[in-house]
């Protein structure tokens, strides 16, 4: 068996997709997930249906805020690398419930780092977010840009996570890659996210709520490209010492909301009913990743055009509603 990877939040969209890949690559994987009620538990159970049958997979249900549980996991396993994806997700919900977002995303991350320190585990990949850039006027967004002006509690919690990983790199020689993910989509995407909601509504002939005038844009990144980037980061941490890097993982090809709507109509051969709504608090106008650092350090090369990714999502979505 290969090295052991601990994936927190491993039953979610990105985590379960990554774990399936890692198992295929013969890594031993521990999945820690609390099955948060943010969306229905059966969705996550479907996500891990393939992994759970593998002898390389161990599922532990629990919360990253539970220090005793983390101690037990690290004591019982020789963990090589942590991929820390567990978090309260979503910009808009974080405005309604900032305390829990800060508790899970900051205190939970601190617990992970402290347990790593206690058990001499030195390698971590931390899931940050493109939301950290706020309404940065300079595009595309570069890792060297100032990110001192987040506009949602969620973004603030992710910035805080990056600061924490730097502290542990500086004080305790942790090797760290912080990934700023740019609007990940694809099979297993969370039901609250735009592409999934849009597909659900267009198939059910339910109006979609379009916030703003349709000119906001997002750098949609297909899940397989994200998984590729994370796997390359695991290899990078294996091969290098004294690593502290913050890296964008995006597609470098944003599309407007109106353009996305047109593309989904084209892919599905259906028409949306649109309900216009004002812009939401905390939403950014643009996300657009400068991915040159990921290309240079990791050999990252996102190769799934949005239309191709939407066709794959359509196939998955239709299978889930049959």
Catalytic center residues = 154
Please identify which residue in the block is written with the tokens 């931390």: 126
Cα–Cα distance measured from residue 274 to residue 101, given in angstroms and rounded to the nearest whole number: 31
- Is 109 within 8 Å of 164 (Cβ atoms)? yes
Which stretches of the chain are assigned E, i.e. beta strand? Answer: 4-8, 28-33, 57-61, 81-84, 123-129, 175-181, 184-185, 208-211, 217-218, 221-222, 244-249, 255-256, 274-277
Q: How far is CA 253 from CA 3, 81, 99, 220, 278, in A?
A: 35, 31, 34, 8, 25
What is the rounded distance in angstroms from the CA atom of residue 298 to the CA atom of residue 315?
30
Three-state SS string over 209-272 comes to EEECCCCCEECCEEHHHHHHHHHHHHHHHHHCCCCEEEEEECCCCCEEHHHHHHHHHHHHCCCC
């Amino acid at each position: 068996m290969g090295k052991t990877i601990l994936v927190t939040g491993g039953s979610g969209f990105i985590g379960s997709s990554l774990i399936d890949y890692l198992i295929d690559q013969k890594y031993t994987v521990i999945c820690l997930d609390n099955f948060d009620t943010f969306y229905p538990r059966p969705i996550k159970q479907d996500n891990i249906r393939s992994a759970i049958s593998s002898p390389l997979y161990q599922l532990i249900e629990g919360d990253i805020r539970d220090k005793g549980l983390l101690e037990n996991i690290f004591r019982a396993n020789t963990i090589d690398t942590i991929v820390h994806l567990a978090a309260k997700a979503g910009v808009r919900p974080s405005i309604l419930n900032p305390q829990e977002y800060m508790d899970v995303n900051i205190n939970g991350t601190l617990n992970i780092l402290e347990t790593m320190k206690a058990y001499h585990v030195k390698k971590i990949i931390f899931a940050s977010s493109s939301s950290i850039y706020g309404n940065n006027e300079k595009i595309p967004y570069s890792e060297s840009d100032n990110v001192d002006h987040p506009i949602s509690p969620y973004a603030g919690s992710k910035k805080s996570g990056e600061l924490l990983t730097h502290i542990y790199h500086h004080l305790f020689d942790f090797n760290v890659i912080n990934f700023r993910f740019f609007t990940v989509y694809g099979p297993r995407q969370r039901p609250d996210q735009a592409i999934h909601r849009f597909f659900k509504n267009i198939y059910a002939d339910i109006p979609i709520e379009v916030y703003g005038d349709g000119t906001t844009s997002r750098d949609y990144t297909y899940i397989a490209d994200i998984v590729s980037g994370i796997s390359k980061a695991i290899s990078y941490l294996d091969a290098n010492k004294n690593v502290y890097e913050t890296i964008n993982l995006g597609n470098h090809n944003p599309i407007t909301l109106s353009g996305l709507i047109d593309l989904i109509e084209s892919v599905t051969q259906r028409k949306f009913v649109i309900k216009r709504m004002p812009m939401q608090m905390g939403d950014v106008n643009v996300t657009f990743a400068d991915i040159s650092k990921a290309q240079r350090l990791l050999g990252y090369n996102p190769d799934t055009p949005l239309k191709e990714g939407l066709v794959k999502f359509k196939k998955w979505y239709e299978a889930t509603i049959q």
